[in-house]
């Protein structure tokens, strides 16, 4: 067991989990796309390690694995930002929903009292 | 001229009854709406028991912005021409309602803010509080050139146009200052009216020391973003 086999296994399991979550409707496709966008290149790097070396060389990165860290960190930041925009949108919708439910409930009560 | 007094209330059972009765006494021509923002005490029940106010119970706590906006939505849908917002803790004196509304009714302003600083009118609050208010006052002047002595005051009257605007779009938390800058940016006229204020009668202020920093940072950011936002 070496680190190449381990990373290969990890990437394939990662992709499998992502696809399985979509299949079970626990993850919407729109968010899954981002995970696949990370998982597929990572699987590529683990299956063909020399690819990482050559791309690092092109970018003048002397220690090839640091390219992986860079990709990982940038991706995490992008994903977190994406999630906070999703939360903001959800918050707006929930606020409006709470307001509408409260106003509807009030109207129902008023009508109930009139009938009684 | 249909007028609605909006009282956002979160856990104000000790003062809400008195505030409602006082409003009815000093400003009988207006309807009263209490927006009970998911209180865990008897605020909603006491307001209903008064028999003088309509009460809307939010099923979850939205915070002051969401609560007040519910009031504006109600006012918009029921065709009110004028809406006045007043605190449930007894800080704002209902005797001043007519004066705050008058500024809007006369057409001098689209939004009138009851301010404790325009002239020397009683309660002014702690030093820290006055410094905070001074900072926001300066910030509002910097962002939109408007001189507002007490932009944090939640004692304000607005006309039909602004009711509609606030119903569709209102800041979510600590909304008072931001709302002023939004109005100014869209060309609405904002004016200040001197009013008497009291210290809070009971209950706790929602602004704890820990939240102050967030409050200052959030509102400052919101004001600057509002300045560069496309409002057309």
Please calculate the CA angle B198-B204-B210 and round it to the nearest 5 degrees: 115
pTM to 2 decimals? 0.85
Amino acid B206: pLDDT: 61
Task: Report the pLDDT value the prediction gives residue B204, as an integer from 0 to 100.
Answer: 61
Query: What is the mean pLDDT, run by run of 10 residues, along chain B of 232 residues?
Result: 95 94 95 96 94 95 96 96 94 92 94 79 70 90 90 94 95 90 93 85 66 86 85 60
Provide the CA B126 distance to its chain's centre, in angstroms.
Answer: 20
Here the tokens at position B86 are 């007043």
Q: B61: distance to nearest CA of chain A, Å?
A: 9
> What span, in angstroms and rounded, lies between the C-alpha atoms of B134 and B143?
14
* Residue-level pLDDT at A6: 87
Query: What's the pLDDT tens digit per position in B12-21?
Result: 999 999 999 9
Q: Which of A91, A94, A103 sits opposite B70 (nearest CB)?
A: A103
Containing H/E element for B129?
A: helix B127-144
**Model confidence over A47-80: pLDDT tens digits?**
888 888 898 889 998 888 888 889 889 999 999 9
User: Which positions in chain A touch B57 (Cβ < 8 Å)?
Assistant: 102, 105-106
- Asked whether the beta carbons of residue A102 and residue B172 sit closer than 8 angstroms, the reply is no
Per CB-CB distance under 8 Å, the chain B contacts of A106 are: 54-57
pLDDT more than 70, % of chain A: 99
Cβ contact B84:B97 at 8 Å: yes
Confidence of residue A34 (pLDDT cuts 50, 70, 90): confident
Average pLDDT over residues A2-28: 88
Interface test with B, best of A95, A100, A111 (most B CBs within 10 A): A95
Strand, helix or coil at B83?
A: strand
According to DSSP, the residues that pair with B84 across neighbouring strands are B5, B157
Using the Cβ of A106 and the Cβ atoms of chain B, whether some distance falls under 8 Å is answered with: yes
* A99–B contact, CB cutoff 8 A: yes
Q: What is the pLDDT of residue B209?
A: 73
Q: Where in chain B are the domains?
A: 3-228
Q: Interior CA angle at A79 toward A77 and A83, to 5°?
A: 115
Q: What is the pLDDT confidence band of residue A8, given thresholds at 50, 70 and 90?
A: confident
Q: Do B56 and A103 touch (CB under 8 A)?
A: yes
What pLDDT score does A81 carry?
93
* Alpha-carbon distances of B65 from A99, B72, B127, B155, B211, rounded to whole Å: 11, 11, 26, 14, 16
Per-residue pLDDT at A43: 86
CATH architecture for the domain at B3-228: Alpha-Beta Complex (3.90)
Tell me which residue in B58, B77, B172 faces A102 most closely, judged by beta carbons: B58
- Residue ranges of E strands in B10-144: 31-36, 54-57, 82-85, 111-115
């Amino acid at each position: 067991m070496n680190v190449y086999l381990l990373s290969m296994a990890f990437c394939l399991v990662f992709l499998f989990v992502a696809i399985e979550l979509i299949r079970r409707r626990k993850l919407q496709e729109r968010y899954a796309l981002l995970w696949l966008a990370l998982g597929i290149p990572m699987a590529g790097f683990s299956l063909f390690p020399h690819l990482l070396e050559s791309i690092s060389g092109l970018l003048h990165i002397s220690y090839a694995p640091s390219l992986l860290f860079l990709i990982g960190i940038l991706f995490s930041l992008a994903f977190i930002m994406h999630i906070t925009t999703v939360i903001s949108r959800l918050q707006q919708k929930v606020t409006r929903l709470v307001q509408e439910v409260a106003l509807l409930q009030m109207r129902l009560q008023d009508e109930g009292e009139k009938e009684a | 001229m249909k007028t609605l007094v909006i009282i956002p209330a979160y856990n104000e059972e000790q003062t809400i009854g008195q505030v409602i009765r006082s409003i009815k006494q000093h400003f009988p021509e207006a309807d009263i709406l209490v927006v009970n923002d998911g209180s865990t005490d008897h605020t909603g029940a006491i307001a209903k028991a008064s028999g003088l106010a309509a009460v809307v119970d939010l099923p979850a706590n939205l915070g002051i912005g969401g609560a007040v906006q519910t009031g504006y939505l109600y006012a918009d849908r029921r065709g009110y021409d004028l809406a006045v917002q007043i605190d449930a803790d007894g800080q704002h004196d209902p005797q001043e309602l007519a004066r705050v509304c008058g500024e809007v009714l006369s057409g001098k302003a689209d939004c009138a803010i009851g301010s404790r600083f325009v002239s020397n009118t009683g309660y002014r609050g702690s030093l820290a509080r006055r410094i905070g208010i001074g900072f926001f006052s300066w910030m509002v002047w910097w962002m939109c050139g408007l001189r507002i002595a007490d932009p944090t005051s939640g004692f304000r009257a607005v006309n039909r146009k602004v009711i509609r605007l606030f119903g569709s779009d209102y800041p979510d938390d600590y909304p008072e200052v931001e709302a002023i800058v939004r109005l100014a940016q869209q060309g609405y006229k904002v004016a200040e009216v001197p009013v008497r204020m009291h210290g809070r009668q009971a209950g706790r202020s929602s602004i704890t020391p820990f939240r102050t920093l967030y409050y200052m940072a959030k509102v400052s950011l919101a004001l600057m973003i509002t300045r560069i936002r496309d409002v057309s």
